[in-house]
Chain A
Amino acid sequence: MAAPTKRSSRPTPVRKAVRSLTWLGVLIVALFGINAAGVIWGDGSWTPKLALDLEGGTQIILAPQLAEGETVTQEQLTQAVSIIRQRVDASGVSEAEINTQGGENIVVAIPGELDEQTRNRIESSAKLELRPVLLADAATNQAITPSDEPVDGEADEPAATPTVEPTDASDPNWVTPALQEEFDTFDCSTLDDTEANVAPSDEPLVTCDSSRTIKYLLGPVEVSGEDIVDATNGMVQTQTGGVTGQWVVNIVFNDRGTEAFSEVSQRLFAMNGQTPRDQFAFVLDGAVLSAPQMNAVITDGRPQISGGFDQESSKALADQLKFGALPISFEVQSSETISATLGTSQLQSGLIAGLIGLILVVIYTLFQYRALGSVTIASLVIVGIVTYLTITILSWREGYRLSLAGIAGLIVAIGFTADSFIVYFERVRDELRDGRALVGAVEAGWKRALRTILSSKGMNLLAAVVLFILAVGSVRGFAFTLGLTTVIDVIVVILFTHPMLQLLAQTRFYSSGHPWSGLDPQALGAVYRGRAEFRKPVAASSKKIASSSREAQKRQTIAERKAAQAEATVGAGEGKES
């Protein structure tokens, strides 16, 4: 490449070109610097992170279960994501990524091998239920418990007469001998097994609290978690507005919850003292979060849970009540485990395909544009460098991961990027054909090409953005790289390709229209050549011109008219205006 040499009385294009190239240099150095800073001070890296299909790992896509006409709100999705993140974090898996996708799905991506327990935890769709307590017992007690337990006398009796239909959720008639036995033998350490603590909502449930210290036999579900509108923690205030220092959890139910809870609270309050049957349990994912006693009849749907909380534990419970249940139930839509070997081989395929594609493009441009093709190649290299750095930085800062579809996008972008150079070069050639000298042709061609490039690339970007926002799955990775390279392409065309051409136009090799320059005016059929040196067009013989003059006259472009006039001035041409 011709380095810009210092010369006095430089024409403006050169100065402009140098300025553009400087900006590009600054941009690249800045990107380089940001990434270097990331590597030195942060957890950055010189290679972009890879998505699971290239690295190996497990990806689970959860889709919401919606009734006809229902839609998921962004808030619900965000809640669900944060809950699932908690669950994954709880299992000690590092580097898991949980994202929403396509406006309603949740994608959980976990590199490396995934154990069954974590998988279950992710895949289970958490439900929050309010069930009345029928029996409670210390978890450590073995088998049959002594009768000094605070189990109500009534509870044992109906167990012997299981034929009696229970009338309400607190009815001890739920406790059949079989259930009693299950309760007695229930081992809290089995709580994590998926089958251990599930029951249909209209059946009793045997389970433990989440700390595994107390086991419970619970009645059917009376209120479900989705009826909780809000849960906050706070301190109990005295009538004078002072603070007591006692932490509580305040719950707000919706209408349906209010109604159901008011009924429960009346019944449970009536049983005050008959512990544990005056308790009701909040059950999350089958485990009891909390089982407070009913101390008052609450009909306004705003119960307050108190007792032994500090700020942290009350906040935790409030969060769990509010967010603990997925706001909507999800089902596993697809689950994929990719071996590291397959990932590596896919990456390899992608890189080889990219390399071959690049070589083919290089060969073709050199063939079509001769030495000018080297500008294309250099531009592609610059695009490559900027893209690579951008992706690496994005993968460090934004957690972007390069997927196979993303690589496909990059490969496709090679061709799409080279397109803009072709549009530009063809414009310059058109201007040369119109009889301009190279320096002028580069400027005039650029003006027109830029407009075309911006509008057509704008269309590409629009498509990429729409695809990225709306699409599901691998479409996103593809759309992302395609959109990114479109932007980078435009930047490089402006800051590199055009300035390079401006500079090259100053060199003898190009301005003299060397046959190998790709800008040979003679080959391009120009009628004006070099510095004020006029020539007859060589493309058509004068005989041919004579025969087609009449027809050509009708079809003249502005360019031709100009050319014809130019020709006329040296007296060599015909085809003047009639």
Chain B
Amino acid sequence: MANRLTTFGNDLYTGKRSFNFVGGRRKWYTIAAVLIILSLLMPFARGFNFGIEFRGGSQFQISGVENAIQQPAVDAVAEVAPDAVARVTIVGEDGVRVQTDQLEQAESRELTTALADAYGVPESEVTSSFIGATWGADVTRQALLGLLVFLLLAAIVMALYFRTWKMSLAAILSLLGDLIVTAGVYAAVGFEVTPAAMIGILTILSYSLYDTVVVFDKIRENTSEEGEESRRTFPEAVNLAVNQTLVRSINTSVVAALPVAAILFIGAGVLGADTLRDISLALLIGIIVGTWSTVFIAAPLYSQLREGEPAIKRHDQKVLKERERAGGSAAEAVTVG
């Protein structure tokens, strides 16, 4: 009755089946590099679609509209503020959202009334917001500050916990990659960059490192328990740990992604809660990329950082020599190159 993933997990655990994550690192690094470069170029090619929070402006949302069409809103804006450019979107089934340039308070009130009239709803059904252009800049500044503080603290905490700064470095580097790629996908999809989206991107910090810590914990366990007596080279030990936690990685990211996907689906249009949609897209990408990068980037990177250490080098050479003496086929071992 074993389901396929369980059997797969067994094989990975015993080493019967093994993916060469560490050995194939050049390949993974190349893929990551290409993704990162594309992600860095993406904003130049397409530009971010900054939300009203970053551009500054006025936004109105009319709810409970019977006939959600755009024209009445366009007309209302043209009447109240002829110079303003209106962007009208239909939200969900019964909502209309109108974004304009920043309006004067008086104009804003007037437009609220005009929109309520145009759609035949009471004025209390019209949500209005005005956002100064500095809001987005403030959010961004705080977000970047948060990012820096978190990276610094996380790096220190991890270095203390794992007792090696190399794990810290590998984890943080792969995390930075995650952030860049997520931002890149965001630009590519053309979703609006809103403060909610930034929350999503910042939360990836948390998820990506969570995932990395779980896998690194297993690596630490494998490499430290076996110690000098290990009959595995260091890269092999790391690779086995990654393989042994692979089923867990798949399960946890699926489970993490499912609710996020639900938010995305609900938020993206069925009911129209923008905050939910914006948070979830960034998170969904981040969870996928974060899991990928832990396995394909963080672990191989850590192995690479440690391989050069004299003690590990000595041990690895000894293992390889013994193996050769035993007549093992070197081709099947994890080769790094």
Contact = CB atoms under 8 A, between A and B. Distances in A.
Nearest to B334: A555
B255 A555 contact: no
* Range for the number of chain A residues in contact with chain B: 35 or more
Contacts of B14: 433, 525, 552, 557, 559-560
B127 interface: yes
Contacts of A470: 142, 145-146, 149
Nearest to A356: B262
A479 B157 CA distance: 19
B255 A63 contact: no
Nearest to B271: A349
A357 B279 CA distance: 15
A452 interface: yes
B262 A411 contact: yes
Contact of B132 (A332, A342, A365, A451): A332
Contact of B199 (A474, A540, A550): A474
B251 interface: yes
Contact of B207 (A333, A416, A471, A472): A416
B272 A360 contact: no
Contacts of A462: 150, 153-154, 157
Contacts of A552: 14-16
A471 B248 CA distance: 32
B311 interface: no
A113 B135 contact: no
Contact of A459 (B3, B157, B254): B157
Contact of B255 (A345, A365, A471, A473): A365
B176 interface: no
A408 B213 contact: no
Interface string B225-248: 110000110001000100011011
Contacts of A578: 326
B198 interface: yes
A126 interface: no
Interface in B181-215: 195-196, 198-199, 202-203, 205-207, 209-211, 213-214
Interface string B126-150: 1111111011001100110110011
Contacts of A455: 161, 213, 217
A551 interface: yes
B67 interface: no
B203 A412 contact: yes
A414 B260 CA distance: 9
A234 B234 CA distance: 77
B258 A331 contact: no
A337 B202 CA distance: 27
B23 interface: no
Interface stretch (A162-170, A213-221, A287-295, A422-430): A422-430
A422 B246 CA distance: 12
A15 interface: no
B275 A404 contact: yes
Main secondary structure of the interface of B (DSSP, over half): helix
B5 interface: yes
A408 B265 CA distance: 13
Interface string B274-285: 011001100100
Contact of B1 (A346, A433, A516): A516
Contact of A349 (B5, B240, B252, B266): B266
Given A337-B127, A555-B236, A471 B149 contact: no
Given A412-B283, A554-B328, A350 B10 contact: no
Contacts of A348: 271
Nearest to A403: B275
Interface string B1-24: 111011101110111101000000
A404 B2 contact: no
B125 interface: yes
Contacts of A482: 203, 206
Contacts of B265: 353, 356
Interface in B247-269: 247-248, 251-252, 254-263, 265-267
A19 interface: no
B267 A423 contact: no
B313 to A, nearest CB: 19
A354 interface: yes
B276 A540 contact: no
Interface in B159-184: 161
Given A341-B64, A426-B251, A548-B16, A331 B256 contact: no
A335 B130 contact: yes
B300 interface: no
A267 B252 CA distance: 78
A471 B263 contact: no
Contact of B195 (A367, A474, A539, A540): A474
Counting chain A CB atoms within 10 Å of each CB, the highest count among B7, B206, B207 belongs to B206
Nearest to A358: B259
A334 B263 contact: no
Contact of A554 (B10, B231, B262, B270): B231
A17 to B, nearest CB: 24
Counting chain A CB atoms within 10 Å of each CB, the highest count among B139, B161, B210 belongs to B210
A384 interface: no
B217 A452 contact: yes
A397 interface: no
A352 B13 contact: no
A182 interface: no
Interface in A427-463: 429-430, 433, 448, 451-452, 455-460, 462-463
A468 to B, nearest CB: 9
B61 interface: yes
A353 B92 CA distance: 14
A337 B128 contact: yes
Given A404-B273, A474-B275, A525-B14, A467 B263 contact: no
A159 interface: no
B317 to A, nearest CB: 15
A62 B145 CA distance: 20
B333 interface: yes
B259 A354 contact: yes
A348 to B, nearest CB: 7
B290 interface: no
B213 A331 contact: no
A414 B15 CA distance: 32
B157 to A, nearest CB: 6
A550 B58 CA distance: 72
Given A419-B210, A554-B328, A463 B16 contact: no
B311 to A, nearest CB: 20
A339 B127 CA distance: 5
B63 interface: yes
B221 interface: yes
Given A357-B263, A459-B157, A470-B142, A53 B275 contact: yes
30 contacts: A102-B138, A105-B138, A331-B132, A332-B132, A334-B130, A336-B129, A339-B124, A339-B126, A356-B262, A356-B265, A360-B261, A408-B199, A415-B258, A419-B255, A426-B251, A452-B213, A456-B209, A456-B211, A459-B210, A460-B206, A460-B207, A462-B153, A466-B146, A466-B149, A467-B199, A472-B138, A475-B199, A482-B203, A525-B13, A548-B16
Interface of B: 1-3, 5-7, 9-11, 13-16, 18, 53, 61, 63-64, 92, 95, 124-132, 134-135, 138-139, 142-143, 145-146, 149-150, 153-154, 157-158, 161, 195-196, 198-199, 202-203, 205-207, 209-211, 213-214, 217-218, 221-222, 225-226, 231-232, 236, 240, 244-245, 247-248, 251-252, 254-263, 265-267, 270-273, 275-276, 279-280, 283, 323, 326, 328-329, 332-333
Given A415-B259, A459-B158, A479-B199, 6 more contacts: A336-B129, A404-B276, A412-B279, A467-B150, A539-B10, A557-B240
The 10 A-B residue pairs whose C-beta atoms are closest, nearest first, are A357-B259, A523-B2, A463-B206, A525-B10, A415-B256, A336-B129, A515-B1, A349-B271, A357-B262, A353-B266
